[in-house]
Structures are given as C-alpha cells and as structure tokens.
C-alpha cells in the first residue's frame, strides 16, 4: 500500500471514531457560528486534532491545510494534506446520519491520494493517482451512461452564499427537463464518492472550498469520471464550482449550466 495512503486511512478512521462516539451522545455537542449558515462544533475540532496528530507523527515536515485551523506550514510545503474533519457538520448537528472525513494529499500542486470515510456506514473510499479508486476493497468504475435523460443528479445548495440561489434554481430548472431527479444530501465529499460508486449519475455544486472536494475529485477521476468547473476547465479547487460525472453527462450538464452563468463565472 502507498505509505501516505496508509497514514491517511489511519487518520480518517481515527477521526471517524471521534465523530461516531460523539454522535451517540449528542447532548454533549457544543456548536458555534462561523458565518452565515456556517457552523463548527467541538467534534469538528476534536476530529481535526486527531487527524493532525496522526499526520504529524508520520510526516512532521509536511504542510497541513484544514477547514478549522487554516494552514499549518511544515518545512516541506510541496506536500500538502488538505483535510475536512467533518464534511456535513449541519447533518451531524441535526442527527442526520450522512457526513464524512475527507483527506487529500497534494504533491507539487497535484492530488496524489484521496480518502473519504463515512463513519456511520463504515464505508472507506480511497484513490491513488494512476492506481484506481476503491470502496473498501471493491474497485470503483463509473458506468458510461449514455446521456442525461433519466439521470439522478446530486447537488448542494449555496446556503453560505445566498446570492447564488437564483442561479442554483435556474440550473436545476434546465437540468430537470431531461434528468429524472435530484439528491441533496449535505456532504460534498460523499456526493463525489457516490458518483464514483454509481449511486448517482452526476453532481454539481457552487460555493465549495478545496477541502470539500479535493479527495472526492481524485476518487471520481480514478473511477473513470470527469471533473470540471462550470466552464469545462480545471479551476474547481479554487473557483468553488464543480461538475462531476461520466464525460458524456458532464458535457450535457455544462450545456445546461453555461447559458445561466453571469460574467463572474466566465474565464
């Protein structure tokens, strides 16, 4: 096994144990508001600390970029661990059992390892660049669905940036002319993994951060899918808008999205 993948899995499982333990005694959860519709709990911070401890023990020189603590720069800034200790915090707070730990390892600006762990279902999604993607020990391969007709699409609402809500609904209105239905489950990392596992046929979202999607991005691509921004480019980790599916469905989703975009989304 890739040695950094092994450490990423160990860190994800340790954080997952923290999350699962606290999920069973939710009266102890302490919640604070970070911004508009944006929350953090003591469990996010405890899970993040567990991940950092595992990484720092194995690779003390590496840089870690986290949702809660920001950038923890190491001597080797060429290797960056991009982590979201609890993707789906609102679900966790509400007791909705759909959230995950997301860890990506980027080397000189390219994602080499991706791990997404669902501690409630004990589902571990992993990918190593050039070596494919797995769910636990099962290989993942995206089905080459012919087109958008009848597709099930995952999405997330830009609830932290309400100005994009009209665009969200305009895009959905266009897509539903062909797609069969939408799923909005509250964890971008798992949405991407569900594309890789053929549980949904495609995914799009506005307003993401790199830690939301860096690991899931690699998992989709290693399962044979395509990931782009709304312009069909590769800026999604910084631009925050993303489409993921088989190549044919990505093209058809983009054909529906692009007529809706204002100037701020143009390259």
What six digits make up the tokens of 24?
A: 């069973």
> Per the annotation, does 148 bind a ligand?
no
Residue that has been written with the tokens 């088989």 in this structure? 246
* Cα–Cα distance measured from residue 132 to residue 88, given in angstroms and rounded to the nearest whole number: 26
Residue 108's alpha-carbon distances to 62, 114, 211, in angstroms, are 12, 15, 16
* C-beta separation of 236 from 227 below 8 A: yes
| CA atoms within 13 A of residue 239's CA, in its CB half-sphere | 18
CB atoms within 10 A of CB 232: 14
- For the chain, state the CA radius of gyration: 18
* Cα–Cα distance measured from residue 115 to residue 93, given in angstroms and rounded to the nearest whole number: 23
CB atoms within 10 A of CB 261: 15
Those residues whose C-beta lies under 8 Å from the C-beta of residue 163, and which sit 6 or more positions away, are: none
> Per the annotation, does 87 bind a ligand?
yes
> Per the annotation, does 67 bind a ligand?
yes
Residue 219's alpha-carbon distances to 21, 34, 92, 204, in angstroms, are 27, 29, 23, 15
> Per the annotation, does 84 bind a ligand?
yes
Annotated binding site for Mg(2+): 67, 84, 86-87, 212
Annotated binding site: 67, 84, 86-87, 212
């Amino acid at each position: 096994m890739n040695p950094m993948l092994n450490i990423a899995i160990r860190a994800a499982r340790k954080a997952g144990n923290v999350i699962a333990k606290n999920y069973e005694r939710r009266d102890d959860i302490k919640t604070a508001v970070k911004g508009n519709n944006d929350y953090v709990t003591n469990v996010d911070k405890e899970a993040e600390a567990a991940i950092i401890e595992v990484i720092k023990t194995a690779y003390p020189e590496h840089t870690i970029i986290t949702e809660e603590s920001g950038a923890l720069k190491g001597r080797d800034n060429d290797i960056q661990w991009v982590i979201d200790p609890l993707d789906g915090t609102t679900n966790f707070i509400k007791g909705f059992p759909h959230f995950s730990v997301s860890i990506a390892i980027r080397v000189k600006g390219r994602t080499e390892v991706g791990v997404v762990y669902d501690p409630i279902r004990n589902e571990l999604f992993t990918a190593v660049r050039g070596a494919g993607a797995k769910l636990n020990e099962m290989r993942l391969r995206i089905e080459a669905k012919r087109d958008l007709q009848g597709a099930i699409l995952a999405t997330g609402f830009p609830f932290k940036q309400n100005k994009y809500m009209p665009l969200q609904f305009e895009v959905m209105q266009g897509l539903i002319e062909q797609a069969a239905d939408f799923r909005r489950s509250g964890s971008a990392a798992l949405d991407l993994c569900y594309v890789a596992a053929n549980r949904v046929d495609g995914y799009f979202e506005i307003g993401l951060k790199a830690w939301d999607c860096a690991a899931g991005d690699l998992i989709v691509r290693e399962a044979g899918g395509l990931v782009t921004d709304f312009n069909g480019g590769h800026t999604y980790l910084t631009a925050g808008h993303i489409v993921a599916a088989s190549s044919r469905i990505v093209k058809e989703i983009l054909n529906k999205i692009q007529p809706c975009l204002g100037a701020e989304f143009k390259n």
